[in-house]
Chain A
Amino acid sequence: MADRVSPTRTNLMVFIGLLALTLATTLIARVDLGVWHLPVALAIAAAKTLLIALYFMHLRWSPGLLGLVALGAVLWLAILLGGSMDDYATRIWLLPSGR
């Protein structure tokens, strides 16, 4: 959030970009990508988020502190997901002998 005014043209281009990415993710879902299915979907979602955050939410022109805050949210979500999934993904590792 800054004094900078985001012109209509910028907002419009972001809007169209977001619609295009939505179309892309919907169509790509029909293609069999095996294990890449989820990573690709999340990557597209992340790209959309970046557009919204940088342009609609003005992060591009805001003090660095706000960008750090946004990054913090992402990082902390990753900690929660990572720590939990470490447990579930490794339940069958390092079992005592005899199991």
Chain B
Amino acid sequence: MIVATVALERPHAETYLSAGTTARSWLLTTDHKRIGILYMVSITLMFLVGGVAATFMRITLLSPGGGVVAMETYNKLFTIHGVIMVWFFLIPSIPSVLGNFVLPMMLGARDVAFPRLNLASWYIFLAGSLFLLWTVVTGGVDTGWTFYTPYSTQYATSRVVSTTLGVFIVGFSSILTGLNFIVTTHRMRAPGLTWFRLPLFVWSLYATSLILVLATPVLGITLILVTIERWLGIGIFDPALGGDPLLFQHLFWFYSHPAVYIMILPGMGVISELIPTFSRKRLFGYTFVAGASIAIAVLGFLVWGHHMFTAGMSTHAALVFSMLSYLVAIPSAIKVFNWTATLYRGAVSFETPMLYAIGFIGLFTTGGMTGLFLASLAVDVHVTDTYFVIAHFHYIMVGGMVTAYMGGLHYWWPKISGRMYPENLGRLAAMTIFLGFNLTFFPQYILGYLGMPRRYAGYPPEFQVLNVLSTAGASILAVGYALPLAYLLWSLRYGERAGANPWGGTTLEWTTSSPPPEHNFEHTPIVTHGPYDYVRGPQGD
């Protein structure tokens, strides 16, 4: 049974977009919705920089002898690609863009708990980005995004310090966002909105925020240690002074493994919104999916050693980390089962967001399964530091996370902008991305298994065909990403005006106009039931 949606849109009413049109009103805003848009612009720019680096990499890999760029330059390309994509695109994307915009509304709140801290987090992001851009234009950095010592601290001659400082700074942006979300979720829910009536996107953002505040500080202090060792020449990880380079890796991965869950959990949260909405069916196993989000956040902290199996760690520790790595796959699998079960006998429709959601389920599952191969000690010895690992994490991060971001962007675009995007172009782009993505990265599983190492500018000639396929796929993928950039911008002026609830969603953000008024709701909603109830309809009045 479908509840008729009433268009609350009154074209001449004051919205958050029309409340103030000066640059100052944007740059000094404390409105979470505007801050979400500020982040959207920034991370898109950084995505382009990281994408340019990838483009040059894939062009170089067209021929076995490399040659398009010098080997030293290639090292800088993959480093910058990794650093920017991880810290300046993936980690902020869904939380700082979609989360900032949607979370307070899903809670029935007027804003986050600390709006000025929210604005500060964006300026901090900008400051960190400036350090990175300075790195790029003054010669780049070539340590790999993982900054392993002693190369990063003693031997590299590239811009290590400006990079580590840039990442250190942007870490505070993460921490403030996580802190804000935690306090907002605990203290600012609308009347009647109990924890188990929360949308699953909120649960995912909450779990993500736990990781943000617990893990990021460790990265912060680790990068400071690298900076000090490099600047002052003090051997913190230097064996000559009794130090251990592996200690750097423990500290680095203690953050960086949970970081991958920072990246994927919000994506899973988006999928948990898209699947019920476009199946017109309540999400199967709500409690399990909510619990799985928390389980992923917690278990994700116990597995970091699986990045160090071949680095010289003790066998005992390797066994423990391997076993725990198998464990962490379980809550992810639970989510996949529950999404699939939701689809079963649902009234499924295939609008653009749903295409991305279904793509996510397939690509994330594939990527996740290859994670299990890597968790096995015996297999990992063979495939670690090869393209197998690269394919694994790109399936999850690009096939999963970026796909989810695109899905969420399209889903909430009407709410954010008050406009619909062109649906046919949306579907075309989604399918182009799916095709381009698989062509780019599936060959890389094979390449890695056959032994092609990562971070090499050249390779044995017998690997050329697969590399060429991968580069071809990348060019298709680029077109796929360019399309939304173009038509979403186009829609701001020429898109069909959207009603309050174009998708028939049941969460609170759909009960207010598109775009929303500055304070989100005319009156604070009173919540009487859980989300995804297509019989009773939206959660609030």
Direct contact between A and B judged by beta carbons closer than 8 A: yes
Q: Which residues of chain A have a CB within 8 Å of any CB of chain B?
A: 65, 72, 76, 79-80, 83-84, 86-95
Number of A-B contacts (CB under 8 A): 45
Chain A interface main SS type = helix
Judge whether A94 and B316 touch: CB under 8 Å. yes
Q: Name the 7 nearest CB pairs between A and B, nearest first.
A: A90-B316, A94-B315, A87-B317, A90-B314, A91-B314, A84-B250, A86-B317
Judge whether B304 and A83 touch: CB under 8 Å. yes
Q: What bracket does the count of chain B residues touching chain A fall in?
A: 20 to 34
Could you write out 26 A-B pairs with CB less than 8 Å apart? A65-B186, A72-B214, A76-B214, A76-B301, A79-B301, A80-B218, A83-B305, A83-B321, A84-B250, A84-B254, A86-B316, A86-B317, A86-B320, A87-B246, A87-B314, A87-B317, A90-B315, A90-B316, A90-B317, A91-B314, A92-B314, A93-B314, A93-B315, A94-B315, A94-B319, A95-B315
B313 at interface by CB-CB < 8 Å:
yes
B302 at interface by CB-CB < 8 Å:
yes
Q: State A93–B302 Cα separation when bound (angstroms).
A: 21
Q: Which residues of chain B have a CB within 8 Å of any CB of chain A?
A: 186, 214, 218, 246-247, 250-251, 254, 301-302, 304-305, 313-317, 319-321
Q: Give every chain B residue within 8 A of A93 (Cβ-Cβ).
A: 314-316
Closest residue of B by beta carbon distance from A92: B314
Judge whether B314 and A84 touch: CB under 8 Å. no
Could you tell me the distance in whole angstroms from the C-beta of B352 to the nearest C-beta in chain A?
39
Q: State A76–B300 Cα separation when bound (angstroms).
A: 12
Q: Give every chain B residue within 8 A of A76 (Cβ-Cβ).
A: 214, 301
Q: State A51–B98 Cα separation when bound (angstroms).
A: 42
Q: State A95–B218 Cα separation when bound (angstroms).
A: 31
Q: Give every chain A residue within 8 A of B305 (Cβ-Cβ).
A: 83, 87
Q: Give every chain B residue within 8 A of A91 (Cβ-Cβ).
A: 314
Q: Give every chain A residue within 8 A of B186 (Cβ-Cβ).
A: 65
Q: Give every chain A residue within 8 A of B214 (Cβ-Cβ).
A: 72, 76
Closest residue of B by beta carbon distance from A63: B186
Closest residue of B by beta carbon distance from A65: B186
Q: Give every chain A residue within 8 A of B319 (Cβ-Cβ).
A: 94
Given contacts A76-B214, A79-B302, A80-B218, contact A86 B314 (CB under 8 A): yes
Q: Give every chain A residue within 8 A of B321 (Cβ-Cβ).
A: 83
